[in-house]
Amino acid sequence: MMRRVLIPTLLAMPLAATLLAQTLPAQTSTPKTGQSAFEDALEQKPGNRIHITVADLPTPHEDESVDNGPSLSPRDGAVPSVPAGYKVELYSEGEWQNPRLARTAPNGDIFVADSKAGKIYVLRGVGPDGKAQQKEVFASVEQFDNEKGKTLPFGINFYPAVNPKWVYVANTINVVKFPYKAGDLHSSGPAEIVVKELPGFAQLRGGGHWTRDVVFSKDGTRMFVSVGSRSNVDDTDNNPGEFHRADVLEYKPDGTFVKVYAYGIRNCVGEAINPISGDLWCSTNERDRLGNHLVPDYITHVQEGGFYGWPFYYMGGAKGGVQDPRHIGKHPELQSKVITPDVLVQPHMASLEMLFYPANEKGASAFPASIDGDIFAAEHGSWNRKNRAGYEVVHAFVHDGKATGEYEDFVTGFVTPDGKVWGRPVGVTVGKDGALYVVEDGANTIWRVTYTGNRQTASK
């Protein structure tokens, strides 16, 4: 049986940059497992299902470690690929330096952190050409730090969730908030410091992983801030620069520190709250230099008090965790505490922002009804792997509130058939219209993915 899927083209496209469907053989509906699950970027196609388990993980091969990062190529009119029944349009381009995380305000405005520019932008509306109708600077780094270039805004959130009065921004070194009311395109007052110094402030004002995300618990009483590690696998016992890093930290919304909520999470770049269960989730970059197929990045719910292995162990051992060969014999008491994440994705592909679809219990659902409650995550792309992986948006399946461990390639085509990379997905958000907005920082573009079929009759 044949089905229609969307494929990329390198030809110049109209302003709307709408990708037209072409007839191709159906993609696999049976998940790839075992060694075939470790696909590379040239094998990725919308609809390909993947299920990596701990049983598939090889032994460490440090000799496999390579530096194979992409050399970015011009987009030259290329557009992403999306599954049959979907349409992708270019929503925003130009005047971006490094667009990253995106979040949608309750009124439907899309806030985007342009990290290297030190700015928070607001995008509003969809014009006849598919582009944003307005783009305004909500706030800039000069408003909350006097050392531009060392404070990189990333995490954005709205508080309280209903009729928010504040926009919170998590930066490399601190968390600030701006006064806000629905519809504001520019901050209506100066930033107030919420958390004065995040871990890493004293060590070269950050160092290592620089992204910081911020989300609030479903009841609004807790604020979770993710702080990535300063290193790949430094021994935290001997490196004070790793203090309270590779952690998710819990604060009160007023900035009062409460505790380390979870630890051993090397770099929880993207946080999300499951809108039904209220669980905190993370999209995580795991460690490098253990081989092409180690260690998988992951998407997981985060257990309060949970230990996720870094740097001494990683998921998958019969006793709870596999010892990292660079830390043999250290902390045997932690081995049984290592938690295996819910969804293992390709190793080294740099899983960044994630979300639940729709974004909240009353959010607009325009995709197939079968997708409601599932996860989308941006995969920035690998560097420490012989055959590159990532450069896509994945769709992870959730059943009865629990991830199945399986995911599918959803938005691909950021890599040309000859292996050149033009796009690197970094952010995902759901608009008030139910569309999926995808931010990438290779060509510095934002794409809008919509569904054109009958959402009630479509199936997984």
> What is the tens place of the pLDDT at every residue in 26-47?
455 799 999 999 999 999 999 9
**Residue 458 belongs to some domain of the structure:** no
400 Cβ neighbours under 8 A, 6+ residues apart: none
pTM of the full structure: 0.92
How many angstroms separate the Cα of 152 from the Cα of each of 100, 250, 453? 11, 21, 40
**Residue 459 belongs to some domain of the structure:** no
178 Cβ neighbours under 8 A, 6+ residues apart: 138, 139, 143, 166, 167, 169, 187, 188, 189, 190, 191, 192
**Residue 375 belongs to some domain of the structure:** yes
Residue 361: the pLDDT is 62
DSSP three-state, residue 142: helix
Across the range 52-74, mean pLDDT stands at 95
Q: What is the CATH number of the domain that holds 427?
A: 2.120.10.30
**Residue 29 belongs to some domain of the structure:** yes
| Proportion of the chain above pLDDT 90, given as a percent | 84
Structural domain count, the chain: 1
- Alpha carbons 164 and 161: distance in angstroms, whole number: 6
**Residue 457 belongs to some domain of the structure:** no
Across the range 224-252, mean pLDDT stands at 96
pLDDT digits (tens, 9 = 90+) for 377-415: 999 999 999 999 999 999 999 998 899 999 999 999 999
Cα Rg for the chain, rounded, in angstroms?
Answer: 21
Specify the DSSP class assigned to residue 455: T
Average pLDDT across the chain, whole number: 91
Structural domain containing residue 234: 2-451
Asked whether the beta carbons of 309 and 315 are under 8 A apart, the reply is yes
CA angle in degrees (0–180, nearest 5) for 101-166-265:
40
